[in-house]
Amino acid sequence: MTSYYETSNANRGGAFATSAETDEIVERSRAAVADFLNCDAGEVVLGANMTTLAFGLSRSLVRELKPGDEVVVTRLDHDANIAPWLAAAEDAGATVRWVDFDDEFRLDLASLDNAMSERTKVVAFTLASNALGTITDARAIVERARRVGALVIADAVHFAPHRLIDVTELDVDVLFCSPYKFFGPHAGVMYARRELLDSWHPYKVRPSDDISPWRWETGTANHEGIAGVGACVDYIANLVPGQGDRRAQIVNSMEVAHEHQQRLTTHFLKGLSGIEGIALYGPDDNERTSTFALRLRDQHPEDSATRLAERGIFVWSGNYYALAVMEALDLEDSGGAMRIGFCHYNTIEEVDCVLGALETISRVL
């Protein structure tokens, strides 16, 4: 990103060198994201963030919906994969159907079955809950959506740093993720099937390109951020030594990272079970990401996060924009929960440090 600022900073489409370099850098990053998602580069839309891209798409989906149609969303999702589709449904006069999660904090497939019908036009779900760490059964969800011919939209923002993404295998129509979640700059990525990008109507200024995927990238792009997105994919590809093309290297790195995070998860859950006064909201096994929502006795989550911050441990508190999750758990009005997360760069020793801090804080309450 620094190099881009210093040597190539220009708008795209010009006849001069720095503009041509910007064109090349953006398309090189697009190709890197395509390798990360296992799709064609022409199916990758680059934007400001996932939320902005989702709301942009929702304006276009209004044209695809009509009164009597139904849109399905889940209470396990971040609001960025709920609010845009609620808005589209409201503007189109469509009906919203909600899917619940069960007592084990997993998406309730029976609730999904009850929510779907021949009128279902859109099914939006998360691959992994950013609040609870739950990983959803994507195959089962997509199969159900396909039976009724619904458009399938997946939120992979929280999933991306923890598990390998393969949009071909997932068979979704649209998928969102945010590079800042997988170790890159603040930006957004939308995958969509090329035929959909070509057939839907984007809201854009008249002089801009009318060819996908560029027709979906409104305004002057964050070129330096996009340069960083490509670099962060290369970082992931080179996390561990590997062979083959970039996609093969990404697969290898993510498999190694996943195995390491599984060890951290097992260790953390085992240690957590020995601390009195801890309430865990989320699966208590390894079928999850290494992200944990906790309440410490009757302490307000923000106070718990403050106590950890004083010990050099940085965690979030509140609802983390997973509003529907906290409302379903009846936690929203009392401050939500404290969220602790581990990734590939964390160590067992750091997990022990967090566990020790939690035990100390719990003991004095």
Q: Is residue 242 part of a domain?
A: no
The model's pLDDT over 328-358, given as tens digits with 9 standing for 90+, comes to 999 999 999 999 999 999 999 999 999 999 9
Q: Which of 237, 261, 289 is the last residue of a domain?
A: 237
| Confidence (pLDDT) at 207 | 93
Q: How many distinct structural domains can be found in the chain?
A: 2
Note whether 96 and 192 are same-domain residues: yes
Instruction: Write the pLDDT tens digit of every residue in 40-71.
Output: 999 999 999 999 999 999 999 999 999 999 99
**H/E stretch holding 341:** strand 337-341
Note down the domain range covering 94: 2-237
27 falls within a domain: yes
pLDDT > 70: what percent of the chain?
Answer: 100
Query: 316-325 burial, b for 16+ CB within 10 Å, e for fewer?
Result: bbbbbbbbbb
Give the mean pLDDT of 145-149.
Answer: 97
Determine, yes or no, domain membership for 246.
Answer: no
Are residue 212 and residue 341 in the same domain, yes or no? no
Residue 265 placed within a domain: yes
Q: Are strands 120-126 and 151-155 parallel, antiparallel or unpaired?
A: parallel
Tokens in use for 357? Answer: 């801090």
Q: Are residues 174 and 322 located together in one domain of the fold?
A: no
CATH number for the domain that contains residue 277? 3.90.1150.10
Query: Are 207 and 345 found together in one domain?
Result: no
Residues 48 and 154 reside in one and the same domain: yes
Would you state the pLDDT for residue 242?
Answer: 86
